[in-house]
Structure 1
Amino acid sequence: MKHIIPKHLSAPTRRWIKQILADFDLESFHFRLLTKAGEAWDRSEQARELLAKEGITTPDRYGVAKTHPAIAIERDSRLAFARLLRELALDAAAPDSRPPRTPDYGARR
């Protein structure tokens, strides 16, 4: 099946998706999950870059330091990426993600 990689994804993410598509035969619903994982990765990187530039705190209207809103964006996007990757259950390495789920995930030994 031919999948069209969305152009709004960053170049490194599009290359990563191309590599996954070369290594795995994905159904359309898997491809959608993979695309969402790529979007989550890109969003977390955008937030990370913003935080590197602006810092992890920002002044509120009274001048008191508060947590930068991009902290939550980065955290939520990283979690979404890891969960989507785990849901895909691919045996593929990805930065900052947990290993994919296995059939015995959560089983007691």
Structure 2
Amino acid sequence: MATKVPKHLSKEAKAQWKRLLDEYGIEDEAGLLILQTGLEAFDRMRQAQAVIAEEGLTVKDRFDQAKAHPLTTVERDARAAMLAALKALNLDLEPLQDRPGRPVGR
């Protein structure tokens, strides 16, 4: 099974790829494709966040009125796609407890 890290992913996404493969043992082709798709969305989200951080949450339209930066929708959609991919992988994201009940401190 080909589990090489896709070269086009960012350094941060590559680290996530390795961590998720190690932690959850994703080996099937469908799982790897879903993981890659989710991490591509993760990279898109991070790219949009970087531009928004530099340019601000709002921009001026042609009437000099403030409106939401167009990349806020890209960020939102990419986040939704990433979370959908993680959900499709059906990962158990809750940490294992050594005893029943709520985690300590909650």
Q: Determine the C-alpha separation between the residues in 1 that align with 2:28 and 2:91.
A: 13
Whether contact under 8 Å (2:45, 2:74) holds in the other structure is: yes
Q: Which runs of 4+ in 1 moved over 4 A?
A: none
Equivalenced residues, count: 93
The alignment's C-alpha RMSD in Å is: 1.4
1:20 matched to which residue of 2? 20
TM-score (norm 1): 0.78
Q: Determine the C-alpha separation between the residues in 2 that align with 1:37 and 1:25.
A: 14
Q: CA-to-partner distance for each residue in 1:33-89, whole Å, 9 max, x for gaps?
A: 000110111111111111111111111122211111110011111111111101101
Which one scores higher on RCO, CA 8 angstroms, separation ≥ 6?
2
CA offset at residue 2 of structure 1? Answer: 2.6
Q: Determine the C-alpha separation between the residues in 2 that align with 1:8 and 1:79.
A: 21
Q: Calculate percent identity across the aligned residue pairs.
A: 37
Unaligned runs of 5+ in 2: 95-106
Q: Determine the C-alpha separation between the residues in 2 that align with 1:51 and 1:84.
A: 24
2:65 matched to which residue of 1? 64
TM-score (norm 2): 0.80
**Counterpart of 1:54 in structure 2: which amino acid?**
E
Unaligned runs of 5+ in 1: 94-109
Q: Determine the C-alpha separation between the residues in 2 that align with 1:55 and 1:16.
A: 27
> Of the two, which has the highest radius of gyration?
2
